[in-house]
Amino acid sequence: MHDIKAIRDDSSAFVRGLTRRGLGDAQALADGLLVQDKALRDLLVRLQTDQARRNDASKLIGQAKAKKDEALAASLMAEVAGLKESIQQGEASQRELEDALKQALAVIPNIPADDVPDGADEAANVPVAARAFGKAPGINAPKQHFEIGEALGLMDFERAAKVSGARFVYLKGDLARLERALGAFMLDTHTQKFGYTEMAPPVLVKSPALFGTNQLPKFEEDLFRTTNEDPFWLIPTAEVSLTNYVSDEILNEAELPLRFTAFTPCFRAEAGAAGRDTRGMIRQHQFSKVELVSITTPDQSNAEHERMTDAAQEILKALDLAHRVVTLCTGDMGFGAKKTYDIEVWLPGQNAYREISSCSNCGDFQARRMNTRFRNTEGKVKGPVHTLNGSGLAVGRTMVAILENYQQPEGSVAIPAALQPYMGGKKVIEKL
RNA sequence: GGAUGGGUGGCCGAGUGGUUUAAGGCAGCGGUCUUGAAAACCGCCGGGCCUGCAAGGGUCCCGUGAGUUCGAAUCUCACCCCAUCCGCCA
């Protein structure tokens, strides 16, 4: 969420940033916000003047009563009584104006960082040459992952449809184990090589948490929720649970950065994706993912973003999976991001690079929504922290990549060396 | 789900209607002393917002919301959360 004071101080930066994102009416939006802001501040000046008079007079009433000066007390009481109504009205107006302003701010996306390339959609994303890794393996007539998995008898979409409908899958035998192995391998890598703290977080959360990480109020249709009056929501990503771990807190600068990782199921309604990726495991209502979240000071977040992307890439390198990294352009970035790197893994069966991780620096955008600040070593509150999140990696899609890149002509799938210890030393996945 | 007890500043904790700007302690920061440190002593020490060039001034916040009152941390109502016990349960 944006800071209204920053918009007040420099509305042109705000307008420029949103225009780069492709919002056509950014100037009108800013003007409207500033009108609301001015109305609120004018009201506060009036209201606080009244409150000050009431407080002074009330104090004098106490003193007059102590001196038994009933006449003075009575006249002061009459004066304060007259203020009462206007104060109550003012307080109600304050609430309305503040709520309206917050609502307006809550649906405005973050401003892109200066070094984010301009562009309307994914066609304008820019490859990061230095981060490219590996070469597409030469596979003759490559099969898609679901063909491989079903032929092995280890992947069952039909029965999943019977039980849960479209966009679910049963994994069996070594593929079920592979999911668990991937989760363990990723967690071990992030905790041991990159200093992340492993978490086992809630996957049902309350609305304020989803407001904190931008899913609410704007993207409600992407989420599942329970039917209680005060509902729980199923997390679409562990970013929600891990980032909100520090909501409503003032952290000490000395304990930053905080780095959290978790292996969790994720749930997405995929409301706007009808007809896309309908076959296979690429787009499911439920999938598992290892998530990375960092909480940093403002001056650390850019370096942390590179480091987090390194950590995510490290998994693909260890699995020897060809991939590339692109910097998302202004028009393709998520709502809360200042800058995002997508990691795209090569899928021989699709003959294409597909997203397997997205690492974003959100700057202070989520921290302001969550009310998370930090205090320096002198004890002074220095303002909102910065938050970053990234997939490290999407486990289902990693399995897809392994199946397609390690497929053997006769239908079996080699297990990457780094995973073999997690698969009981097994080297190949074969038909059940 | 039932019963009881609780929610106060970074932490612990006092405070049952005005004369208080939420006592006191711990932690933190600065200083005295010391070769250095500890101890002791002295001082500083919550957050948001409005206003102001600044110094400063004002206002709101004692779980949340509504109410009573000239005035609420304190009284009333509703709700949320936590703890303990009981019931149920993986």
- Look up residue A300 and give its DSSP letter: G
Query: What is the average per-residue pLDDT within A12-23?
Result: 94
- The whole-angstrom separation of Cα A222 and Cα A271 is 6
The CA-based diameter of chain A, rounded to the nearest angstrom, is 103
Place of tokens 């950065």: A257
Give me the pLDDT at residue A62, please: 74
Catalytic positions of A: 268, 283, 355, 358, 397
* Structure confidence at residue A66 as a pLDDT band (50, 70, 90): low
- Do strands A323-327 and A126-127 pair parallel, antiparallel, or not at all (unpaired)? antiparallel
Average model confidence (pLDDT) for chain A?
Answer: 91
Q: Which residue is nearest to nucleotide B80 (CA to C1')?
A: A230
For chain A, helix, strand, coil in percent to 5 are 50, 20, 35
Question: C1' nearest to CA of A40: which nucleotide?
Answer: B50
Q: In what order do the strands lie in the sheet containing A373-375?
A: A250-252, A373-375, A381-384
pLDDT single digits (tens) A271-314: 878 778 889 999 999 999 999 999 999 989 999 999 999 999 99
- The residues pairing with A126 across neighbouring beta strands, listed in sequence order, are A327
Say how far A253 CA is from B62 C1', in Å.
27
**pLDDT value at A104 more than 80:** yes
* Structure confidence at residue A47 as a pLDDT band (50, 70, 90): confident
Query: What is the average per-residue pLDDT within A144-168?
Result: 95
**pLDDT value at A194 more than 80:** yes
pLDDT single digits (tens) A226-264: 877 778 889 999 999 999 988 888 888 888 899 999 999
Give me the pLDDT at residue A51, please: 85
Q: Which residue is nearest to nucleotide B59 (CA to C1')?
A: A48
Q: Which residue is nearest to nucleotide B69 (CA to C1')?
A: A81
Query: What is the average per-residue pLDDT within A166-176?
Result: 96
ipTM of the complex: 0.81
**pLDDT value at A95 more than 90:** no
Query: A357 vs A134, A237, A306, A333, A424, CA distance in Å?
Result: 17, 12, 14, 13, 27
Say how far A42 CA is from B17 C1', in Å.
33
Say how far A84 CA is from B7 C1', in Å.
30
Kindly report the bases of strand B lying within 7 A of a protein C-beta atom. 10, 18-19, 21, 28-29, 45-51, 58-60, 66, 70-71, 80-81
Residue A34 CB partners (closer than 8 Å, separation 6+):
A7, A8, A11
Say how far A164 CA is from B61 C1', in Å.
48
Question: C1' nearest to CA of A49: which nucleotide?
Answer: B58
A364, A243 contact by CB (below 8 A): no
Residue positions counted in chain A = 432
- Do strands A250-252 and A373-375 pair parallel, antiparallel, or not at all (unpaired)? parallel
**pLDDT value at A59 more than 80:** no
Give percent of chain A with pLDDT exceeding 90.
66
- The residues pairing with A286 across neighbouring beta strands, listed in sequence order, are A267
pLDDT single digits (tens) A354-413: 999 999 999 999 999 988 888 877 777 788 899 999 999 999 999 999 999 999 999 999
**pLDDT value at A65 more than 90:** no
**pLDDT value at A132 more than 90:** yes
pTM given for the model: 0.92
Say how far A252 CA is from B37 C1', in Å.
25
Query: What is the average per-residue pLDDT within A173-198?
Result: 97
A389, A360 contact by CB (below 8 A): yes
Give me the pLDDT at residue A17, please: 95
**pLDDT value at A13 more than 80:** yes
Give the closest residue to A361 by CA, choosing from A291, A290, A306, A289.
A306
Question: C1' nearest to CA of A73: which nucleotide?
Answer: B70
Burial pattern A230-264, b for ≥16 Cβ within 10 A else e, equals eebbbbbbbbbbbbbbbbeeebebeebbbbbbbbb
Say how far A379 CA is from B10 C1', in Å.
9
Give me the pLDDT at residue A429, please: 98
- The whole-angstrom separation of Cα A77 and Cα A144 is 82
Q: Write the burial class of residue A174 (CB in 10 Å: 0-12 exposed, 13-18 middle, 19+ buried).
A: buried
Q: Write the burial class of residue A164 (CB in 10 Å: 0-12 exposed, 13-18 middle, 19+ buried).
A: middle
Query: A127 vs A237, A329, A418, CA distance in Å?
Result: 25, 10, 27
Question: C1' nearest to CA of A38: which nucleotide?
Answer: B50
Q: Which residue is nearest to nucleotide B29 (CA to C1')?
A: A378
Give percent of chain A with pLDDT exceeding 70.
99
Give me the pLDDT at residue A272, please: 77
Question: C1' nearest to CA of A379: which nucleotide?
Answer: B28
